[in-house]
Amino acid sequence: MHDTFVSNPSFFKLDATLKKIRNYWQKNFDARQMDITVDQWLLIENLYKHKRITHNELARLTSKDITTVSRIIELLVKKDLVERQGSTDDRRKVFVQLTPQGVNKYKDVRPLVLEMRKTGWNNLSERDYNELTRILDVIYANIP
Amino acid sequence: MHDTFVSNPSFFKLDATLKKIRNYWQKNFDARQMDITVDQWLLIENLYKHKRITHNELARLTSKDITTVSRIIELLVKKDLVERQGSTDDRRKVFVQLTPQGVNKYKDVRPLVLEMRKTGWNNLSERDYNELTRILDVIYANIP
DNA sequence: TAGCAATAGTTGTTATAGCAACTAATATTC
DNA sequence: GAATATTAGTTGCTATAACAACTATTGCTA
């Protein structure tokens, strides 16, 4: 393995790309008055898909710290997009689900997200997508 | 382009991979009492390479907001790793450079960083590295 | 079954990220 | 050359990230 390869700047490149995507998403959310952040969207997306899950599961699904999830959920509850329900069989658990307004928010934002994903993948093939996925998966698995 | 491709979760995967790398780096920094954060390291690395630059240039080089750079530099100054010098020809500018302790910090941390980069690229080839770089560059360029 | 360990979640603290508003200095333009 | 625009940097604010410490509950085990 070459030294230039070992001392590669991929961390920087990953970080820069992610920041660019995140800023682009946020600017579009703001421009269309969606009144949510990118990470709030990620939680909404998962709640739409999984209907009714705990903070813990949501944290695992989104690769977020449970404290971060707890605080984002708090903001979403304040916006009436999400509601919490204590579990009856295990009273430590708190279930979370979208309110009707939360479901509407999902449906409002979703087309914009698809559009932006398309923009990001412009000039790239499905093979490129598979390559990126494969490489990131290997890196992820390499790290203890 | 397939719908599954358009609705791909690459943002999530990028985010998850970057978090894993960042946490791994931070844990190793902490374990060896390096007393810096990952982003502080990124600034130190750039300051070592460029010797004496302004906040603005540092922000551009690291893809960070200038306010973020300003605050990280503040922390590094408190640790005596970095010193600021007002420019004489343009008194708006502030030049930043490593102190001797800052240079020592770079030399202390550098081998660990190379080791961790190697770990991340385990089971991957130089071709994979070039593919990742290419794909991320295209995504970056796609986004307005 | 009493004591201890593990789990779910919250709160406090520090760091990074980005926007807006601000100061100070320099550049532009009429 | 004076008014205006632009640029470099700081400060205030809100959001996300991660760790530590904490409460409440549940599970395990001697």
pLDDT at A3: 56
Domains and CATH numbers, chain A: 9-142 (1.10.10.10)
In B, minimum Cα distance to A42 occurs at B12
Least CB–CB distance from B21: residue in A11, A21, A63? A11
Q: Are A108 and B127 in contact (CB under 8 A)?
A: no
> Is the pLDDT confidence value at A42 over 60?
yes
A11 CB within 8 Å of a chain B CB: yes
**Distance from residue B112's CA to nucleotide C21's C1', rounded to whole Å:** 41
Residue B10 has what pLDDT?
A: 82
Q: What is the mean pLDDT of residues A116-130?
A: 92
User: pLDDT tens digit string along B45-82?
Assistant: 999 999 999 999 999 999 999 999 999 999 999 999 99
> Which of A3, A18, A116, A123 to mutate to probe the B interface, most B CBs <10 Å?
A18
| Chain B environment of A16 (Cβ under 8 Å) | 63, 140
Q: Which two tokens stand for residue A30?
A: 């703001």
A12 and chain B: CB distance < 8 Å anywhere?
A: yes
For the CA of A31 and the C1' of C8, the distance in angstroms is 38
Q: Give the C-alpha separation, B80 to B33, whole Å.
A: 16
